[in-house]
A and B are shown apart, each in its own frame.
Chain A
């Protein structure tokens, strides 16, 4: 795995990427390269393009919903300031899905049949996406999800559901293995919640660790309702080099605190997924123990010293301070590792609509086809998280993954895994399915 300092990411465009970019530009870029007046005059309708936003406004995803919305509103402000899509303004039509699959399916119906939306977008929690996507297929409504679940690329959804703006958990996990074994140690003990979310990590990490020359020496599954963990720590083998933890929920701070009390100053290396502490201040009590440990981050929460201008522009537009919290309240920590996907997905919808010459809902199929032929997405104002490669067959994007170290209550990126090292073999070809 090669380390790519983030400031040079834009400079590292390989010839193949340039070639791919040209291909994309031939189709997608034609409209975008026209002068603004030409685009407006060529627009057949000045009516706004409507993007149906399924928001986790209530239910267990509400914190994510709030930040997904802030990011989406900021992205649309930018897109509209730059001339909209095909010369038309773009607007968000927000519906609350209640973080509930049944409601999410109803929301898609409202987008298609009542509010006359052009596409549907949004939604993080996997069960919501899995529950709603079949309805998108029935309604023939392009459904752009920002979920990071593996359910898109696994082939369980349909031709109308795409995930072009955020990477999936399978690629995230397997991309961590070389760093774990190469830098932190060969013998890994996993601690994870005893249900599907934890199993994703267990089932994807162990083979990757072995492929990288390491060994998972223990797998400690913790019941989801557990709120005290001291009785589990003695199960950690003494020869463990690295602890890999993915605990989530209200007991996370207790988990970290008790782990700190168990190990004291002599601890093994510790690696976690930021999902555990998304939207949580790392200077919270009990988290001192995490100093010097490592986290996967979908996108760096803290402004890195070498951040390029387009990253700063993205953060400023969303309203983030240097610590990844709201500029209006430093305690209001963002869901940084996930919400960038909304920004990028909206830019992809724009690129896809322009490539497809999208005029009305009759062109929905053309839009899906235009996105399916996309490939390279170069880091920049539309893709602040980094350079990505979209796989049209699996409807899933692959992008960089960040490994950060906790230093003084902040996360500093120590390694960026490029998208090339996160790719796994295709499990489906949606393009062979009918619309």
Chain B
């Protein structure tokens, strides 16, 4: 992308060259200061205000959704067509409908839309229809899904998906992608045959990821009404997630972070790869796989230590409960990273997607341009938008974790104190995220 994935950084002087000319040190300082200031302010606001932060206002009543099964079936038909095109159509990934729909349409745009607009995936997921299929034929689930399995199967599915995204040497190759999509689809169908539609909620990583990000949207349906609140309000109203779900939430940030890190000069230097002569994904399969597998445990460890340190500060126990209750606060950071990381790719891929639509309508293609990476003014706007997404994600994370801590520890003061190590972690993570954006990239 850049690529299809943003992995298509450019060997010539382009966006990255202009970023290096921007006063990013000052921007980074400003971003980090904003997050640090949020930490201070949240500790100083009156307790009542802090409690009510994530309240939601009822906007209108909402009836039952109708037609989601129809749109899901249409989406499944579209995906089937795209798969057939992947196998038999042009193998140019910027023209074949399959990589465009999967990587650009779903991964770049739809996942970004989830966090802002809500659960579009509920309408557009081809798997919803898939899950209903056995029931239509009168088939009952063959096995019972054990509660103790939690969300671990979904976590494995998500890891596999990330493996294709970050490690596979040709994730956008249409015919190989077609086989992988069919494999994932078949796996999902098998899960639904065995365990029923419940599989989508517990065992299917993409749907779980989509649903989690959708809970960040400010406008949500709840209790038969549309309600509007601070982004993430719905997550704040829910019970603490199960341990497996909490780990899944942390994994979204870990993988998103590694996906940015593995393109930087710094990472390429560490693994002994010349960033000016990056020899392709096939040369870094081992390194990317190791990073993919280690990023999660590393982040879980650092997060866990921050939680533990906070509990030590207020002399409290309940590590497991805190670990779970504070994990949703990581989601807005991960979502901010997703927006920031994929914005440049989306600007290019959006054009290819638009061209696909034009081609289907019989209109001529418009030449895809990357001219906006060649002007200082537009590169500045793009960079500041990316940085804005990272900073806003962290600010929201600070607010969400504080609200969760108040519930855990009952007192505003104790909550603030217990949050100090996690807040420090988030401030440093802001620094890391903005550094990633400002770093020269070579892969």
Chain A interfacial positions (CB closer than 8 Å to B):
55, 57-64, 66, 70, 93-96, 98-103, 110, 125, 127-128, 193, 195-197, 224-225, 227, 248-254, 257, 275-281, 284-286, 319, 325-326, 328-333, 335
Contact of B280 among A100, A281, A326 (CB under 8 A): A100
A277 contacts across to B, CB distance below 8 A: 12-13
> Do B13 and A58 touch (CB < 8 A)?
no
Q: Which of A57, A103, A326 has the most C-beta atoms of chain B within 10 angstroms of its own C-beta?
A: A57
Answer yes or no: B265 CB below 8 A from chain A CBs: yes
Beyond known contacts A280-B13, A331-B371: 5 more, CB 8 A cutoff: A60-B278, A98-B282, A102-B169, A103-B170, A277-B12
Q: How far is the CA of A328 from the CA of B366 in the complex (A)?
A: 8
Q: Which residues of chain B have C-beta atoms less than 8 A from A62's C-beta? A: 2-3, 8, 10
In the complex, what's the smallest C-beta–C-beta distance from B279 to chain A, in angstroms? 5
Stretch at the interface among B91-99, B119-127, B196-204, B251-259: B91-99
Tell me the B residues contacting A by CB distance below 8 Å: 1-5, 7-14, 16-21, 90-95, 169-170, 172-173, 265-266, 268-269, 274-283, 366-372, 374-376, 378, 440-443
Contact status A102-B269, CB under 8 Å: no
CB of B7 within 8 A of CB of A280, answer no
Which 4 interchain pairs have the tightest Cβ spacing? A100-B280, A331-B371, A250-B16, A102-B282
Give 18 pairs: A residue, B residue, CB < 8 Å, sorted on A. A55-B92, A57-B92, A58-B1, A59-B3, A62-B3, A96-B173, A98-B280, A99-B280, A100-B281, A127-B280, A196-B277, A225-B266, A254-B21, A278-B12, A285-B376, A331-B369, A331-B378, A332-B367
Contact A197 to B369, CB < 8 A, known contacts A63-B12, A101-B282, A103-B282: no
Q: Return chain B residues, CB-CB under 8 Å to A276.
A: 13
CB <8 Å contact, A329 and B367: yes
Contact B370 A63 (CB under 8 A): yes
Contact in complex: B374, A333 (CB < 8 Å):
yes
A100 close to B279 (CB less than 8 A): yes
Is A250 in contact with B13, judged by CB distance below 8 angstroms?
Answer: yes
Known: A96-B172, A250-B14. A127 touches B371 (CB 8 A): no
Residue on B nearest A104 in the bound complex, by CB: B280
Beyond A195-B277, A249-B275, A280-B12, whether A257 also contacts B369 by CB under 8 A is: no
* Contact residues in B for A249 (Cβ distance below 8 Å): 11-13, 275-276, 440, 442
Question: Is B17 a contact of A280 with CB atoms below 8 Å?
Answer: yes
| CB-nearest residue of chain B to A193 | B276
In the complex, what residues of B have CB within 8 A of residue A275's CB?
12
Q: A225-B275, A249-B13 are in contact. Are A94 and B90 (CB under 8 A)?
A: yes
Assembly CA distance A276 to B11 (angstroms): 10
In the assembled complex, the CB of A74 is this many whole angstroms from the nearest CB of chain B, namely 11
Interface of A is mostly: mixed
Q: Is the CB of A103 within 8 A of B280?
A: yes
- Contact present for A281 and B8 (CB under 8 Å): no
Cβ–Cβ contact A98 & B170, under 8 A? yes
Chain A residues in 8 Å Cβ range of B266: 225
Which residues on B sit within 8 Å (CB–CB) of A319?
A: 367
- Establish whether residues A63 and B10, one from each chain, have CB atoms under 8 Å apart when the complex forms: yes
Contact A100 B372 (CB under 8 A): no
User: Once the chains are docked, how many angstroms separate the CA of A130 from the CA of B20?
Assistant: 32
Determine the chain B residues whose CB is within 8 A of the CB of A325 once the complex forms: 371
What chain A residues lie within 8 Å of B375 (beta carbons)? 281, 284, 331
Contact A95 B91 (CB under 8 A): yes
Distance of A249 Cα from B277 Cα, bound (Å): 9
Q: Across the interface, do A60 and B443 meet the contact criterion of CB distance under 8 Å? A: yes
Residues of B within 8 A of A64 (CB): 11-12
> Quick check: B91 and A94 within 8 Å, CB to CB?
yes
**Docked complex Cα distance between A399 and B44 (Å):** 73
> Is B91 a contact of A96 with CB atoms below 8 Å?
yes
A residues less than 8 Å from B21 (CB atoms): 253-254, 257, 285-286
CB pair B277–A197 under 8 Å, yes or no, is yes
What distance in Å separates the Cβ of B359 from its nearest Cβ neighbour in chain A?
14
A93–B93 CA distance with the chains assembled, in angstroms: 12
A250:B371 contact, CB within 8 angstroms: no
B277 touches A224 (CB 8 A): yes
Q: Which residues of the partner chain A approach B11 to less than 8 Å between Cβ atoms?
A: 60-61, 63-64, 125, 248-249
Enumerate chain A residues within 8 angstroms of B275, measured Cβ to Cβ: 224-225, 249
CA distance A101 to B319 in the complex (A): 50
Known contacts A100-B282, A252-B13, A280-B13: A329-B369 contact under CB 8 Å: yes
Q: Which residues of B contact A99 (CB under 8 A)?
A: 278, 280
B8 cross-chain contacts in A, Cβ below 8 A:
58-60, 62
CA A278 – CA B374 in complex, angstroms?
Answer: 11
Q: Closest residue of chain B to A102, judged by CB?
A: B282
Are B443 and A284 in contact, CB atoms less than 8 angstroms apart? Answer: no
Contacts of B16 in A (CB 8 A): 250
Inter-subunit contact A332/B369 (CB<8 Å): yes
Q: Which residue on B lies nearest to A319, using beta carbons? A: B367
- The answer on a CB contact under 8 Å between A58 and B20 is no
- B269: nearest chain-A partner, CB-CB: A225
**How far is it, in angstroms, between the C-alpha of A368 and the C-alpha of B248 when the chains are bound?**
57
Q: Which residues of B contact A100 (CB under 8 A)?
A: 169, 279-283
- Report the Cα distance A98→B19, complex, angstroms: 25
Measured CB to CB, the closest approach of chain A to B321, in angstroms, equals 45
User: Please, which residue of chain B has its CB at the minimum distance from the CB of A252?
Assistant: B13
Q: A94 touches which one: B92, B169, B279, B283 (CB < 8 A)? A: B92
The residue on B at minimum CB distance from A194 is B274
**Bound form: Cα–Cα A57–B349 in Å:** 12
By the criterion CB–CB under 8 Å, are A227 and B12 in contact? Answer: no
Report chain B residues within 8 Å CB of A225.
Answer: 265-266, 268-269, 275, 440
Inside 8 A of A101's CB, which chain B residues have their CB? 279-280, 282
**Cβ–Cβ < 8 Å partners of B441 in chain A:** 250
B280/A250 in contact, CB under 8 A:
no
In the complex the two chains form, what is the Cα distance from A62 to B280 in whole Å?
A: 12
Which A residues are CB-close (under 8 A) to B371? 325-326, 329-333
What's the minimum C-beta distance from B412 to chain A, rounded to whole angstroms? 45
Taking a contact as CB atoms closer than 8 A, the residue among B10, B13, B367 that contacts A326 in the complex is B367
* B108–chain A nearest beta-carbon distance, Å: 14
Given known pairs A195-B276, A251-B20, A332-B371, the reply for A58 and B92 (CB within 8 Å) is: no
Across the interface, B9 reaches (CB within 8 A) one of A60, A279, A285, namely A60
Nearest-Cβ distance from residue B100 to partner chain A, whole angstroms = 12
Neighbour of B4 across the interface among A58, A103, A248, A252, CB < 8 A = A58
Given contacts A127-B277, A128-B280, A224-B275, contact A66 B92 (CB under 8 A): no
A429 CA / B216 CA spacing, docked (Å)? 66
Once the chains bind, are B92 and A250 in contact (CB under 8 Å)?
no
Could you say which residues of chain B place their CB within 8 Å of the CB of A61? 11
Which of the listed residues B90, B170, B266 has the most CB atoms from chain A within 10 Å of its own CB?
A: B170
Task: Please give the distance in Å from B37's CB to the nearest CB on chain A.
Answer: 30
Shortest CB distance B344–A (Å): 12
Complex Cα distance A96/B371, Å?
Answer: 22
CB-CB under 8 A from B20, the residues of chain A are: 227, 250-251, 253-254
The CA of A224 and the CA of B173, in the complex, are separated in Å by 30
B443/A252 in contact, CB under 8 A: no
Residue of B whose beta carbon sits closest to that of A249: B276
